[in-house]
Structure 1
Amino acid sequence: MFRTLLFVLSFTTLLSCDTNFNGSDVTISNRTILVDNESYLIKGICYHPVPKGSPNIRSWETLTQDLELMKEAGINTIRFYAPVDDIKVLDEIDQAGLKVIIGFGYNQGGTFDIESGTFIDYVNKYKNHKAILMWELGNEYNYHPEWFGDDIKNWYNAMNDAAGLIHTTDPKHPTTTAHGDLPDALTLSLSPNIDVWGMNVYRWDKPESIFKEWEAVSSKPMYLSETGGDSYMKIAKAGYEQGENQKAQADATKNILKEIFENQDICSGVTVFSFTDGWWKAGNNDVQDIGGSAPNSTGVPYDGTPNEEYWGVVDIDRNKKQAYSVLKDEYLSVKKTNK
């Protein structure tokens, strides 16, 4: 059913392609991402701005303030977990000089999702926008085979078909995915249409091993689509006190970014998780709760526990945490290297 739908959509898309392209031309050369023929290093942040007391509904009320903080920190890329169907938001991001990675979920109630095929409507609507960097398909779905009839190959086939359709309608922007850690040989064989592999990597504060592992299995570009640490220690460990602990988060951020930028021959950058604390993720949405859960998260520094509402480099009121200063120092000082 899904493949048949994609075939029909692909045919209609070919008839409706816009030849008046005004956006950035994003291409791949070996392991390098190029924007208008210039090497592009992702110095990014994951961004899902949900206000206090709100369920998981984004708000753009603080967008101007947030973009100012991002620009100050040297951030050049925003990773969104779901499409942003608001031209004013994308325009403001572009005017601030930032690019976006737009994520599509498999099932989003038929709104710009992969299952219904309506994701391609969004691609067609915004493919000429200057803010677009890449189109992302799925987030850590490899941890959830139960969503796909207990056979994760069903997801990889759907992902690959969707990426192929994007190639048909928008040859100017690459496809990517946010895979949970390193994809295995089967995954790679089923997903040739993915151009850039994003990986959500939590290996304490030492991600360097994944770059060697990736180099051994693929010649495509990769980046870390999620990494970092939270600012709460469930237990005292590794010299860090129990409780809210911004120093633990800052130290982890510094160590992680150092290893990423020392491996630019393999890694095209990072979107650190996350810009702001998310009070909606565990318990009462009106307060900041301790706890939460995430799959395969024992590698979270330094207590092995993801306190889901403490991941921001700024807090919910946009006060800068220590990790913000570390990220700013690293992003503003790093130099692109020739691969």
Structure 2
Amino acid sequence: MGANTLPHRLERRQLLKYGAAALGTHLLAGCGGGDDALPDCQPLYDETGQWVSDTCSHGSGEPAPGYFSVEGRQILKDGVPFFAQGVCYAPQPVGASFASLPWGDFFIDFWDQLFMRDLPMMKKMGINTVRLYSTLPFSDINAVSGAAQSHKKFLDACLDNGICAWVGYPIDGGVYLNPQVKARVETGVKEIARQIGSHPAVMGFVMGNEANLSSGFSAAEGRQVPIKSAPGFWAWIDKLGEVTKQQAPEKLTMTCLIDDSMESVDYAMQFGGLPHIDVIGINSYRGNVTNGFDNLFSRFEESTRAHPHALLITEFGCPASTRNGTVAVELPNHAQEQADYISVHWQDIVKNKAVASGGYVFAWSDEWWKADDRTVHNVRPGADRIDQFPGHYWDEEWFGIYSIEPDPRRDPANPVNPGGSYYPDILTPRAAVAELTKLWTAPQ
């Protein structure tokens, strides 16, 4: 299936024929549920203009609620333009790590206290979509079979709060070079799509995060070369998209790339255009409070002209920290400068909505696991100086629009108490929460 091709059973259906007023009403449509009811029944037509059915008919051949597609560069949900107002959501408790159970998957039923707390808060902010980094079909990340994990509570809660989720099996950049791990990933990608691909809160599946950063040894050249220059790498990413589409034909596929000034996108388009990938996500930390994303949108449009794809800014933001000597501290006034930086970049996304279909602020909450001691909110030794950031340093543990601290009733090193209970971390909003709420709940 091409990036702009409807699933086979819907090939003879045109897009919903909304009038201009209806399009305006639903431009920033959520995932339904909560107070955001699904759109009223609307007619479906075939390519000759003849009425076939309507969106309330979910019998043979008709899309159920939660059907996503791409038309040109526009993402559609249930036939209506969808603009993503999102956050990257990885609620790792203090003391947890992606390198151990539950392998970053805090969206299984056991962790419902976390997401049942957060999703209603997101709804009040105007968030209509979240991006996850780890959703596993089995409890062991290395497993290729077994009893399925349940993500139903999380997805149902998303639906109740009008929030859609990008989910997916975690794929590290170096996986492409390891045949054994590649095979396990292909199984995991297929299985998670099979398990949850029909849920109306699922927006789509992510095929890799910043895998274009990896490099491998080339015998032909006798040196390390970037994987992004290898045609086989892009063919594999596209294969994962095809496998996913076979299991979840009414959902989107996306690969998320680090912003390298579109060099990776140029390679991908040169090597076939990723026909089974609907959306290209760019994790971008360029620009400042003056120029936003600079020329990102025009370069993407130029690079994908022969193979148009929808675009999402799948990570953007900056740390809420600055330095007091060698120690990281929060920026003044609840990190107001972080809020200003995020606001400027969000407004740049909106200004370029003809090319981009929205963005995801990185991140919902701080991540204490990223630098040395997971029980300390610290900085990585030798952290890069980033002059365009308000606090001038790339402090990976400080990107949250919420700060976190462990509940005093538990051991900071152990998210789960010996008896099997747990206490969610304490969240404190930074200035960006109020700023984004203002931007995302304003009348359109």
> What is the TM-score with the length of structure 2 in the denominator?
0.64
Q: Distance in 2 between matches of 1:118 and 1:24?
A: 23
Superposed, which structure 2 residues align to 1:242-261 within 5 Å? 243-245=329-331, 246-261=335-350
Change (3 A) 1:249 1:146: farther
Superposed, which structure 2 residues align to 1:35-74 within 5 Å? 35-56=77-98, 57=102, 58=104, 59=106, 60=111, 61-74=113-126
- Report how far residue 305 of structure 1 moved: 2.6
1:83 corresponds to 2:83 = no
1:196 corresponds to 2:282 = no
1:139 corresponding residue in structure 2: 209
- Which runs of 5 or more residues in structure 2 are unaligned? 1-59, 137-148, 219-223, 405-425
- Report how far residue 209 of structure 1 moved: 1.4
Change (3 A) 1:270 1:26: same
1:225 corresponds to 2:311 = no
Q: Which has the higher contact order (CA 8 A, sep 6+)?
A: 1
Q: Distance in 2 between matches of 1:88 and 1:64?
A: 9
Q: Distance in 2 between matches of 1:134 and 1:147?
A: 33
One-letter amino acid of the structure 2 residue matched with residue 138 of structure 1 = G
Q: Distance in 2 between matches of 1:234 and 1:49?
A: 25
- Report how far residue 314 of structure 1 moved: 0.9
User: Aligned pair count?
Assistant: 312
One-letter amino acid of the structure 2 residue matched with residue 131 of structure 1 = A
Q: Distance in 1 between matches of 2:344 and 2:312?
A: 16
Q: Distance in 1 between matches of 2:258 and 2:202?
A: 23
1:212 corresponding residue in structure 2: 298
Is the 2:169–2:192 contact (alpha carbons within 8 Å) kept by the matching residues of 1? Answer: no
Change (3 A) 1:300 1:156: farther
Note the alpha carbon deviations across 1:91-140, whole angstroms, 9 max, x for none.
11111111000133336999998634321111011111011101111111
Note the alpha carbon deviations across 1:292-329, whole angstroms, 9 max, x for none.
789x9947623553201111111112111011111111
Change (3 A) 1:124 1:31: same
Larger Rg: 2
One-letter amino acid of the structure 2 residue matched with residue 307 of structure 1 = D
2:187 corresponding residue in structure 1: 117
1:313 corresponds to 2:401 = yes
1:93 corresponding residue in structure 2: 158
Q: Distance in 2 between matches of 1:201 and 1:46?
A: 13
After TM superposition, the structure 1 stretch with the greater mean CA deviation from structure 2, 29-38 or 87-96, is 87-96
Helix, strand or coil at the partner of 1:62: helix
Is the 1:207–1:259 contact (alpha carbons within 8 Å) kept by the matching residues of 2? Answer: yes
- Report how far residue 224 of structure 1 moved: 0.1
1:24 corresponds to 2:66 = yes
1:10 corresponding residue in structure 2: none
Q: Distance in 1 between matches of 2:382 and 2:193?
A: 32
After TM superposition, the structure 1 stretch with the greater mean CA deviation from structure 2, 107-116 or 69-78, is 107-116
Is the 1:23–1:132 contact (alpha carbons within 8 Å) kept by the matching residues of 2? Answer: no
2:267 corresponding residue in structure 1: 186
Helix, strand or coil at the partner of 2:440: helix
Q: Distance in 1 between matches of 2:390 and 2:80?
A: 37
Helix, strand or coil at the partner of 1:34: strand
Q: Distance in 2 between matches of 1:128 and 1:113?
A: 24
One-letter amino acid of the structure 2 residue matched with residue 321 of structure 1 = R
1:329 corresponding residue in structure 2: 438
- Report how far residue 330 of structure 1 moved: 1.3
Helix, strand or coil at the partner of 1:118: helix
After TM superposition, the structure 1 stretch with the greater mean CA deviation from structure 2, 188-197 or 135-144, is 188-197
Is the 1:300–1:306 contact (alpha carbons within 8 Å) kept by the matching residues of 2? Answer: no
Is the 1:202–1:299 contact (alpha carbons within 8 Å) kept by the matching residues of 2? Answer: no
Is the 1:137–1:175 contact (alpha carbons within 8 Å) kept by the matching residues of 2? Answer: yes
- Report how far residue 288 of structure 1 moved: 0.8
Change (3 A) 1:105 1:260: same
1:277 corresponding residue in structure 2: 366
Choose the corresponding residue for 2:389, options 274, 277, 301: 301
Q: Distance in 2 between matches of 1:213 and 1:235?
A: 38
Note the alpha carbon deviations across 1:135-154, whole angstroms, 9 max, x for none.
11111111112499855124
Q: Distance in 2 between matches of 1:50 and 1:141?
A: 22
Helix, strand or coil at the partner of 1:318: strand
- Report how far residue 291 of structure 1 moved: 3.1
One-letter amino acid of the structure 1 residue matched with residue 211 of structure 2 = Y
Helix, strand or coil at the partner of 2:432: helix
- Which runs of 5 or more residues in structure 1 are unaligned? 1-17, 237-241
